[in-house]
């Protein structure tokens, strides 16, 4: 792809945000680990070095060979990237005297500097570092300072090399996007042509050449991601795409039949497989969240294995994995990082399956998936569907799972979600669902004492599932839904509403 931007990842928690901001400028970018950079750099018009948890002063700091990049292509170092360019080019990096986390304001911006055009002289920037650049590298000129950080920005004379200590990629750096735009568009001359249509075109072409005449099986979930992935693959390889929609017994009420019907209209080659009993058997007596996810992941793989054998010459397994699934499960550098939840659809397949994995949406975020879906003509209703986790209701039933608990939760969820639709609230909520708590509480119904289950309702707003806040649903709506649930769902006598944000909570309870 022409017009590509390379982001060399040194393991910062913000690296994916750089990619996102760059794509918001309609410019495509790819993140590659610093220790395994692409061999052929010809398609990259500019390179960005990310931040890092490492220190250049530590033992074995990341130190890739930039001889084919520095001075030859426009280069921007961010945070560690800026320190790296200083430390290994004759500058000096030392420990900061003051804590430099969070908000700061620029105190000096070099006049007439195209890199900082349109950036106000007191612009707010976001810092997150404990080292600071004490002496600039050879040939460098300071272009920005803050009150505490003298060398907050510099450039190398005679090169298109720029470096900033602060993070332009976070929203809290108010002119951050402008700085990235200045660098990529003004300095590097990258064209702003990355649009959903362009993504579809290049992805379909790439899928065609990658897969050729091979056959692919794809697990549809009914959600936006797998549907968009399937539609892209269908455009690329037509009937060689074999979709499988598995009923894991943990879907929403009526979802299995509704979703199969929905796919009939899309022209996809879909087979429904009801494996409910297999999943519920595997989950019997299991109450640990990660063990439940793993069990479900394992059975999914087994079902796919069985199904793939029925499709002659199937060599690929396609998945609708999107970027947040990837970054919350493994670090972008491929190394071990804090695994928050082992999303079941990430992590590949056991060797014995011999299927190669193809993930057309692996590098894009949820909102981008929706934009891509709209550009390939999927209906607003389908694209507007709330995300639903692969392990389904299993991670919304806290503790062990029984068919009776699944039934109860399906009924509760149905009343809640239908209520949101009827009250015109569904589209203003990013994701909603109900959790069945492992708690019985005392109630009174028709003069009788009850001792029954409690459910928690959760509705959040978010853009990408990485951070989320609870939605202020109208009290009248909550009152109606709570009444309906307690009156109609046998086994539930109490409803609560979850008012936690992510972080520190997560969206799902398990
Ligand atoms: P959390 O609970 O991590 O959820 O804040 C973020 C988003 O991811 C979904 N989620 C999952 N999706 N497999 C999935 O396919 C999983 O194991 C899983 N866990 C959470 C969750 O529904 C939300 O949209």
C-beta of residue 93 within 8 angstroms of C-beta of residue 137: no
On whether the 403-497 domain is CATH 3.30.300.10, my answer is yes
C-beta of residue 84 within 8 angstroms of C-beta of residue 57: no
Give me the count of residues in the chain.
510
The neighbouring-strand residues paired with 135 are 92
Catalytic residue among 54, 87, 129, 167: 167
Task: Give yes or no on whether 4-187 and 196-384 have one common fold.
Answer: yes
pLDDT at 353: 67
Mean pLDDT of 469-491: 97
Which position has the higher pLDDT, 263 or 419? 419
Q: Report the distance separating Cα 403 and Cα 415, nearest Å.
A: 19
**CATH architecture entry for 4-187:** 3-Layer(aba) Sandwich (3.40)
- Chain-centre distance for alpha carbon 148: 34
Per the prediction, the chain carries an average pLDDT of: 91
What's the gap in Å between 250 CA and the centre of ligand 1?
Answer: 15
Catalytic residue among 54, 100, 169, 344: 169
What's the gap in Å between 510 CA and the centre of ligand 1?
Answer: 9
pLDDT tens per residue, range 333-377: 443 333 445 554 444 556 666 788 899 998 888 888 999 999 999
Which position has the higher pLDDT, 288 or 328? 288
Q: Looking at mean pLDDT, say which of 198-202, 335-339, 392-396 comes out highest.
A: 392-396
Which residue's alpha carbon is at the smallest distance from atom 12 of ligand 1? 389
Q: Report the distance separating Cα 474 and Cα 42, nearest Å.
A: 55
pLDDT tens per residue, range 236-288: 999 999 999 999 999 999 999 999 988 888 899 999 999 999 999 999 999 99
Q: Residue 451, SS3?
A: strand
Active site residue 169: yes
How many of the other CB atoms lie within 10 Å of CB of 52? 25
Asked if the model's pLDDT at residue 470 lies above 80, the reply is yes
In this structure, which topology does domain 196-384 adopt according to CATH? Rossmann fold (3.40.50)
390 lines ligand 1 (CB under 6 A): yes
The neighbouring-strand residues paired with 93 are 133
pLDDT tier at 186 (50, 70, 90 boundaries)? very high
Q: What residue ranges do the domains of the chain occupy?
A: 4-187, 196-384, 403-497
Q: What angle do CA 175, 180, 184 make, to 5 degrees?
A: 150
345 lines ligand 1 (CB under 6 A): yes
Query: Is 223 annotated to bind ligand?
Result: yes
pLDDT tens per residue, range 154-177: 999 999 999 999 999 988 899 999
**Residue of 322, 323, 341 to mutate, ligand 1, most atoms within 8 A of C-beta:** 341
pLDDT at 295: 95
């Amino acid at each position: 792809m022409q017009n590509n931007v390379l982001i060399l990842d040194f393991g910062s928690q913000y690296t994916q945000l750089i990619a996102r901001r760059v794509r918001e400028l309609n410019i495509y970018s790819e993140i590659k680990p610093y220790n395994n950079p692409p061999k052929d750099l010809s398609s990259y018009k500019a390179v960005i070095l990310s931040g890092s948890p490492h220190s250049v002063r530590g033992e074995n700091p990341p130190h890739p060979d930039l001889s084919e990049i520095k001075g030859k292509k426009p280069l921007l170092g961010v945070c560690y990237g800026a320190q790296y360019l200083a430390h290994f080019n004759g500058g000096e990096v030392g420990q900061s005297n003051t804590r430099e986390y969070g908000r700061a304001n620029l105190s000096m911006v070099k006049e007439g500097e195209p890199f900082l055009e349109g950036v106000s002289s007191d612009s707010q920037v976001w810092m997150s570092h404990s080292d600071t650049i004490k002496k600039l590298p050879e040939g460098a000129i300071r272009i920005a300072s803050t009150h505490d950080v003298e060398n907050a920005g510099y450039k190398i004379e005679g090169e298109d090399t720029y470096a900033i200590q602060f993070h332009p990629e976070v929203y809290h750096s108010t002119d951050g996007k402008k700085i990235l735009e200045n660098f990529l568009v003004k300095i590097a001359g990258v064209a702003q042509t990355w649009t959903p249509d362009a993504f579809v075109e290049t992805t379909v072409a790439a899928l065609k050449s990658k897969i050729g005449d091979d056959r692919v099986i794809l697990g549809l979930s009914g959600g936006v991601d797998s549907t968009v992935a399937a539609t892209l693959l269908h455009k690329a390889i037509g009937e060689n795409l074999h979709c499988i929609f598995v009923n894991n017994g943990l879907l929403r009420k009526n979802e299995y039949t509704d979703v199969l019907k929905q796919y009939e209209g899309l022209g996809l080659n879909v087979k429904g497989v009801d494996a409910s009993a297999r999943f519920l058997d595997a989950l019997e007596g299991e109450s640990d969240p990660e063990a439940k996810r793993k069990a479900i992941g394992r059975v999914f793989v087994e079902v796919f294995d069985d199904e793939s054998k029925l499709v002659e010459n199937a060599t690929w397994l396609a998945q609708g994995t999107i970027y947040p699934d990837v970054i919350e499960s493994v670090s972008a550098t491929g190394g071990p990082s804090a695994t928050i939840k082992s999303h079941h659809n990430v992590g590949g397949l056991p060797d014995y399956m011999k299927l190669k994995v193809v993930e057309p949406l692996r590098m894009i975020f949820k909102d981008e998936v929706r934009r891509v879906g709209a550009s390939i003509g999927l209906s607003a209703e389908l694209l507007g569907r709330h995300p639903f986790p692969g392990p389904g209701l299993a991670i919304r039933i806290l503790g062990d799972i029984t068919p009776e608990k699944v039934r109860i939760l399906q009924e509760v969820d149905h009343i809640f979600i239908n209520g949101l639709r009827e009250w015109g609230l569904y589209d203003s909520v990013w994701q909603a669902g109900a959790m069945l708590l492992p708690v019985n509480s005392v109630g009174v119904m028709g003069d009788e004492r009850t001792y029954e289950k409690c459910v928690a309702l959760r509705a959040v707003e978010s853009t990408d599932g990485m951070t989320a806040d609870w939605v202020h649903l109208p009290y009248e709506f909550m009152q109606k839904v709570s009444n309906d649930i307690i009156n109609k769902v046998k086994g539930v006598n109490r409803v609560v509403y979850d008012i936690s944000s992510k972080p520190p909570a997560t969206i799902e309870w398990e």
